[in-house]
Amino acid sequence: MTAPFQNAKLHDCRDAFTAALEELAAADGNIVAVCNDSVGSSKLTGFRDKFPERLINVGIAEQNMVGVGAGLANGGKIPFVCAASPFLTGRALEQIKADVAYSQTNVKLVGISSGMAYGELGPTHHSIEDFAWVRALPHVPVIAPADRIETDAVIRWAATYQGGCFLRLSRVGVPDLLPEGHVFELGRANVLCEGSDVTIIANGVLSHRAVTAAAVLEGQGISARVLNMATVRPIDQDAILSAARDTGAILTCEEHTTFGGLGSAVAEVIVDHHPVPMTRLGVPGVFAHTASAEQLLDDFGMSPQAIADSAVALMGRKG
Amino acid sequence: MDTHDLRLLANRIRRRDLQAVYEAGAGHIGGEMSVTDLLTALYFHTMKVDPAAPLDPNRDRLILSKGHTALALYVVLSEKGFLPKEEIATFLQHNSRLNGHPNRVKVPGVETNTGPLGHGLPVGVGMAKAAKLDGADWRTFVITGDGEMQEGSNWEAIMAAAHFGLDNLTLIIDHNRLQQGARLEDTNNLAPLPPKLAAFGWTVLEIDGHDMDQITAALSADNIASGKPTCIVAHTNKGHGISFMSDNVAWHHKVPNEAQYKQAMQELENAQ
Ligand SMILES: Cc1ncc(C[n+]2csc(CCOP(=O)(O)OP(=O)(O)O)c2C)c(N)n1
Ligand SMILES: [Mg+2]
């Protein structure tokens, strides 16, 4: 396997999100979209044109937006509440806690342009704390799909799932990773590459970088397993423990601070059940400098080459 | 600076902003053109600030709560001497201090970090309260967008400012009638704004936010009614000064192509 994705077409997963949402809404009149002056950035213009009365734009008022979502759910609607992820999760976190998680309402929270997708707009617009914030709450699965196919599958799953959830989408182009027709299962990771020397666990925009890193490692004679772990809560304990037993070392990569996200969730399982050496890549607890989304990932040690180098260093710590 | 010179300066600031948006390939040009005259009047007429002492405890404070128009603030701060003028060319570049939203930790003259809408006014209430506690006479100015006024946090601050009697606080609403995706009236209409602020106990002035005589007169301390905060509802146009951008919602954060850039620059030059 050499240089995967070289000429691969890149897709903005927001398109897969709204295509699926429009199809589901055509079949189910209870599906509504709620947003905060984010019709364009959430790619809801098509939804608005097809179902104008079912697009509820509350204006620039995120706390109200999530509360309204909870009320709509109480009234039997299936609200997809869409906003830039930092404002959805950061601004309305207590609404998410009390009105969605604690009240166990059927609100689908869709965080758009999450991670560092907003690049140069800076830390106020980065959403690299959202795994940690929402993962701390009961009753709200946290899911970050990796490509257009998984995004489509996750939206279809969310529409039928009874309960709240947080779907973390990006706007940065990503290649296809999962097979066409893939069906999403909550809390179940997918093996993107088999391997026995080390395991790389990633999700969202990092999954394809992890696959490329595995190709780099293969060139060095190292067999890396790559797990695409879209669900951060509930975490796939079985896949993590198999990886620990089979490969003896786990590297996590995420477009998130290393405080409390995917790496932390994996480490919790490892510490409790089967300690092995781990390295957690991510944003190391800082507010990012000015750079584009892709540049920031490179700067924080998550280029495919740097991921591979971290994997090699990690293997040196195996017993 | 007299209002004639202020107009010329605002024109130059608009041109520098336009050029930076074009070169960086990003920015929020509509809201930058609507807020430029207000910022120019504040920094070059009304406010007591000193670029040599950006943290002077007695300085007047300005919070650009509509932080997405940071570039307009950066250009004004560079004209005032807080930043080297050449630095504007680094806007949004790798490792630049000048990202898309102002950062007080990096950029002298910036008082608080904005970007998420609805943060500036509560912070401004705190500043004005601090001045009152000290018996100091510095003033606090906050500029919000009109769409931004949909954030509930603003209305919590509006209640508090009136209750605390913060007559040293001035809120300027850049009332350009447009928000990100549509007109306010098609999203969540707040107009008319003046009676709402008046009902909360504020002194309210309404001005043409592109008329320097009206802006400077409204900002004067002479308008302060003792014990009441002041709100200036500034009627503006998003994209002001550039015909095809003016009052056009498409230009919230669109970037001009080469032909559009040339036309826009020409129009601004002709208006000098
Ligand atoms: C809390 C929050 N929600 C959403 C946004 C995204 N956003 C950036 S600018 C903008 C529109 C602002 O409109 P307005 O306040 O009228 O500003 P102006 O017209 O002067 O650009 C929106 C929704 C944000 N920055 N912060
Ligand atoms: Mg506006």
ipTM (interface predicted TM): 0.94
Residue from B188, B238, B251, B254 whose CB has the most chain A CBs within 10 Å, to mutate: B188
Given a contact cutoff of 8 angstroms between Cβ atoms, the answer to whether B194 and B16 are in contact is: no
Q: How far is B148 from chain A (nearest CA, A)?
A: 6
Which CATH superfamily, name and number, covers A13-168? Thiamin diphosphate (ThDP)-binding fold, Pyr/PP domains (3.40.50.970)
Q: Identify which of B115, B150, B179 has the shortest CB distance to residue A122.
A: B115
Tokens of B272: 């000098």
Residue of A nearest to B250 (CA): A40
| Cα–Cα distance measured from residue A227 to residue A266, given in angstroms and rounded to the nearest whole number | 12
| Cα–Cα distance measured from residue A96 to residue A313, given in angstroms and rounded to the nearest whole number | 40
Quick one: pLDDT band at residue B138, thresholds 50, 70, 90?
very high
Q: Looking at the domain that runs over A190-315, which CATH code has it been given?
A: 3.40.50.920
CATH number of the domain within which B221 lies: 3.40.50.970
Residues with CB under 6 A from ligand 1: A 36-37, 60, 62, 87, 91; B 28, 30-31, 34, 66, 68, 115-118, 145-148, 174, 176, 178-180, 238
* Residue ranges of chain A assigned to CATH 3.40.50.920: 190-315
- The 3-state secondary structure of A131-151 reads HHHHHCCCCCCEECCCCHHHH
Q: Identify which of A37, A41, A63 has the shortest CB distance to residue B152.
A: A63
A146-196 tens-digit pLDDT = 999 999 999 999 999 999 999 999 999 999 999 999 999 999 999 999 999
Interface contact flag, B100 A122, Cβ < 8 Å: yes
* Preceding peptide of A234 cis, ω within 30°: yes
Q: Average pLDDT over chain B, rounded to whole?
A: 98
**Coil, strand or helix: which one is A125?**
coil
A73-106 tens-digit pLDDT = 999 999 999 999 999 999 999 999 999 999 999 9
Residue numbers of the domain that contains B83: 3-270
Quick one: pLDDT band at residue A319, thresholds 50, 70, 90?
confident
Quick one: pLDDT band at residue B62, thresholds 50, 70, 90?
very high
- Percent of chain B, pLDDT > 70? 100
Tokens of A56: 């509820």
| Cα–Cα distance measured from residue B72 to residue B101, given in angstroms and rounded to the nearest whole number | 11
* B207 φ/ψ angles, rounded to the nearest 5 degrees: -140, 165
Mark out the alpha helices in A51-117 (DSSP H runs).
62-74, 85, 93-95
Given a contact cutoff of 8 angstroms between Cβ atoms, the answer to whether B162 and B229 are in contact is: yes
What residues of chain A lie within 8 A of the CB of B115, using their CB? 121-122, 124-125
| Cα–Cα distance measured from residue B88 to residue B75, given in angstroms and rounded to the nearest whole number | 7
Q: How many domains does chain B have?
A: 1
Angle, alpha carbons A227-A232-A236 (nearest 5°): 55
Q: Average pLDDT over chain A, rounded to whole?
A: 97
A242-299 tens-digit pLDDT = 999 999 999 999 999 999 999 999 999 999 999 999 999 999 999 999 999 999 999 9
Mark out the alpha helices in A192-261 (DSSP H runs).
207-219, 237-247
Given a contact cutoff of 8 angstroms between Cβ atoms, the answer to whether A174 and A205 are in contact is: yes
User: What contacts A265, CB < 8 A, 6 or more positions away?
Assistant: A131, A135, A232, A233, A235
* A262 φ/ψ angles, rounded to the nearest 5 degrees: -60, -50
> In chain B, which residues touch A (CB < 8 A)?
26, 67-68, 92-101, 103, 113-118, 147-148, 150-152, 179-182, 187-188
Which range (A4-8, A250-254, B198-202) has the least confidence? Answer: A4-8
Tokens of A230: 């879209």
Angle, alpha carbons B171-B226-B197 (nearest 5°): 35
| Cα–Cα distance measured from residue A264 to residue A165, given in angstroms and rounded to the nearest whole number | 20
| Cα–Cα distance measured from residue A264 to residue A261, given in angstroms and rounded to the nearest whole number | 5
Choose between A78 and A1: higher pLDDT: A78
Residue of B nearest to A294 (CA): B94
